[in-house]
Amino acid sequence: MTVQPQSVGIVEARRVAFDEPLTLRCGATLPGYELVYETYGELNQDASNAVLICHALSGSHHVAGVYADNPKNTGWWDNLIGPGKPLDTRRFFVIGVNNLGGCFGSTGPATLHPETGKPWGADFPFVTVEDWVHTQARLADHLGIQRFAAVMGGSLGGMQAMSWSLQYPERVAHVIAIASAPHLSTENIAFNEVARQANLSDPDFHGGHYYTHGVVPARGLRLARMLGHITYLSDDSLAQKFGRALRHGKASFSYDIEFEVESYLRYQGERFAKFFDANTYLLTTRALDYFDPALEYGGDLAAALAPATADFLLVSFSTDWRFSPARSREIVHALVKNRLRVSYAEIPSPAGHDSFLLDNPQYHAVLRSYFARIGEQTCR
Amino acid sequence: MTVQPQSVGIVEARRVAFDEPLTLRCGATLPGYELVYETYGELNQDASNAVLICHALSGSHHVAGVYADNPKNTGWWDNLIGPGKPLDTRRFFVIGVNNLGGCFGSTGPATLHPETGKPWGADFPFVTVEDWVHTQARLADHLGIQRFAAVMGGSLGGMQAMSWSLQYPERVAHVIAIASAPHLSTENIAFNEVARQANLSDPDFHGGHYYTHGVVPARGLRLARMLGHITYLSDDSLAQKFGRALRHGKASFSYDIEFEVESYLRYQGERFAKFFDANTYLLTTRALDYFDPALEYGGDLAAALAPATADFLLVSFSTDWRFSPARSREIVHALVKNRLRVSYAEIPSPAGHDSFLLDNPQYHAVLRSYFARIGEQTCR
């Protein structure tokens, strides 16, 4: 097996169990839970070079590298993380973790309930960005990391990074929030609601207890993902990628695939329905909806961000209409009001929200130089 | 019963049967068909004051006024059409027609098939913008109208108005296309595809033959409409209308209605599923996808519009991202290349695509003055 140059190579997921009960924001208490995570690079002597990567809606702990038994399964941010890459694993110790409530190995709706021996299903409690950050802090304890050099994420991952600076200001030196927002817009909540209803109304959902029926609400997951994909791209990038090309050169008057974009969306939907869990999808969209640190400050984001002491890097992309540059600028303004050190880059990109996952040279150059600065500052 | 001032008052739908076979663009031939229509005002002596209104995705022939037995069912463009209104029925004879394949009385998927005695269902042939225009021309013949003073529509209705000028250039003096486009963008096709899949994958769809199963694919229709509604509004107007207000003041951690926008979308979806037909929805989204007069001219819209002789008024709305001003300007440029008389108004409006249905003073002033000009020119 050949490994790509600058790849972290073959990686292995690890699992850690926490026995201490965890009370969630929703009021429920989990008696204990497990988190699945991966690490790349080496933790240095004084544990000052750790970077936590927080994942978005459909992400996981598998951030970089490949698996020995599945060499095509490359981590979702592999283009960014590795020896010599913008987040250089020769210098930094990088951690990816599957969030609580997830469907890639951490305790979640598909996990067996300790009392009933059946999957939690719809009884799994609601989890929030704040809860995730608390569990990530337990993972940091476990790994012997008192303070992260950086916590970084895109989209929902950026919300977690931001929340770190409020919940554990003394434990994070730099926050990197990419294509993120201080809270979802009404339109975003509306899209989430359609995606949720697609799942909730699928007859195979069985009130969230589909596991015991031996089915999955694949129709709902497919629709949710198709819709999501439209909003992760820009109008222009869809036009550029697929145009109005007719599969058969002319209209064949059917509901089969006529236009190339239909083929793309159906493929993405099919694929997603095979690997993602509907209950995790529902929980995660609600976590997105609920995230709003300014809420208890009457909408005053600057007041909400007052506890933060970290340095910040915000990045947005010109054609991202789901988490537009204007949303990142709201965060920048609120941070500046708090006299924090803030860097902000608005990257020209045709690719919409998806840009945060892509190999855009300008974007990667910004991250490279920012991590170089972190390296000089925090990793002795 | 009191009728609003400037209302056309109580109206009645009429029905006309055409026995001549109609060969559609898809190749199928209907042995005959019926159209349901309404008229407001009086046709003048030389039949020079007729205005045809073409409806969009969910519209109907009920454009203005109310029904005696249902005084709350006001026509969908009632704010525009009536005595003293921008399209003044004291001067013009206005016609609304339910398109072929529709679900408000014209021959469509719910109509009984003449041979089987069962509803056509999924066997109803695909209809296109061009087919609709042909049937509308038969209706004009029936009413004794050789040439329309104007053909007008918004969104998909605007596409029909445009197509009139190509299919029957000698039969239309003015084309008024509002919030329209020369063809759907890739993103628009993508949204249509999600809405279609929601219906096609609903177990109650039964391959389009749900009528005989005594059910309707309500889940699919609800999802399609919820999604549609998001795209008919603007991000700003959603924020303005619903914000992030939590129903119970704080998160109650459930998938019930938490945010006001969820309540709005669910209501709109429920309502739509009760009055609209899924097969008509599918046919109409495909008619939208397929409309592309420039296709057989290698994408050269100016070449495609060469047959047109009408005067044109194009109107677009600043925050309409489904049929953006840029799309109307494409049409304007192609018409100007053909040295036609074109007026174009880009109306500042916060309300997105829906603006074409709303009572925006600047928009209505443009239409009022344009119809005054038509009146002077064409109605002797």
**pLDDT over 80 at A4, yes or no:** no
- Bridge-based pairing of strands B33-40 and B93-97 is antiparallel
**pLDDT over 90 at B17, yes or no:** yes
Confidence of residue B249 (pLDDT cuts 50, 70, 90): confident
How many A-B residue pairs are in contact by the CB < 8 A criterion? 138
Which of A186, A244, A290 has the CB atom closest to B251's CB atom?
A: A290
- Does A185 qualify as catalytic in the annotation? no
pLDDT of residue A3: 56
Determine the residue among A255, A282, A301, A320 to mutate to test chain B binding: the one whose Cβ has the most chain B Cβ atoms within 10 Å. A255
Confidence of residue B103 (pLDDT cuts 50, 70, 90): very high
How large a percentage of chain B has pLDDT more than 70?
A: 98
ipTM: 0.96
**pLDDT over 70 at B11, yes or no:** yes
Distance CA A87, CA A367 (A): 7
Which of B26, B126, B230 has the CB atom closest to A187's CB atom?
A: B230
Confidence of residue B3 (pLDDT cuts 50, 70, 90): low
Distance CA B160, CA B175 (A): 10
pLDDT of residue A20: 95
Across chain A, what does the average pLDDT equal? 96
CB within 8 Å of A100: residues ≥ 6 apart: A30, A33, A35, A106, A107, A108, A127, A131, A132, A135
Contact A244 B292 (CB under 8 A): yes
Which of A125, A201, A265 has the CB atom closest to B193's CB atom?
A: A265
Contact A194 B253 (CB under 8 A): no
CB within 8 Å of A162: residues ≥ 6 apart: A175, A177, A180, A182, A293, A331
Three-state DSSP class for A18? strand
**pLDDT over 90 at A319, yes or no:** yes
Determine the residue among B123, B197, B321, B330 to mutate to test chain A binding: the one whose Cβ has the most chain A Cβ atoms within 10 Å. B197
**pLDDT over 80 at A344, yes or no:** yes
What are the pLDDT digits (tens) for A76-109? Answer: 999 999 999 999 999 999 999 999 999 999 999 9
Distance CA B345, CA B368 (A): 13
**pLDDT over 80 at A378, yes or no:** no
pLDDT of residue B366: 98
What are the pLDDT digits (tens) for B325-380? Answer: 999 999 999 999 999 999 999 999 999 999 999 999 999 999 999 999 999 987 55
Is-contact B218 B326, C-beta < 8 A? no
What are the pLDDT digits (tens) for A145-203? Answer: 999 999 999 999 999 999 999 999 999 999 999 999 999 999 999 999 999 999 999 99
CA angle B88, B93, B96 (to 5 degrees): 100
Q: Which residues of B touch A200 (CB under 8 A)?
A: 255
Q: What radius of gyration do chain A's Cα atoms show?
A: 21
Q: Which residue has the higher pLDDT, B2 or A334?
A: A334
User: Exposed, middle or buried by CB within 10 Å (0-12, 13-18, 19+), for A297?
Assistant: middle
Q: Which spans in A14-67 are helix H?
A: none
Distance CA B362, CA B97 (A): 27
What are the pLDDT digits (tens) for A147-160? Answer: 999 999 999 999 99
Contact B223 A194 (CB under 8 A): yes
Contact B269 A197 (CB under 8 A): yes
pTM: 0.96
Across chain B, what does the average pLDDT equal? 96
Q: How far apart, in Å, do the first and last CA atoms of chain B sit? A: 35
Contact A226 B194 (CB under 8 A): yes
Is-contact A199 A217, C-beta < 8 A? yes
What are the pLDDT digits (tens) for A252-290? Answer: 999 999 999 999 999 999 999 999 999 999 999 999 999
Three-state DSSP class for A44? coil
- Mean pLDDT across the stretch A234-256? 93
Is-contact B323 B179, C-beta < 8 A? yes
Catalytic residue among A61, A320, A349, A355: A320
- Does A174 qualify as catalytic in the annotation? no
**pLDDT over 60 at B2, yes or no:** no
Which residues of B are tagged catalytic?
155, 320, 353
Is-contact A216 A210, C-beta < 8 A? yes
Least confident of A283-297, A302-316, B53-67, B234-248: B234-248
What are the pLDDT digits (tens) for A356-377? Answer: 999 999 999 999 999 999 999 8
- Mean pLDDT across the stretch B120-144? 98
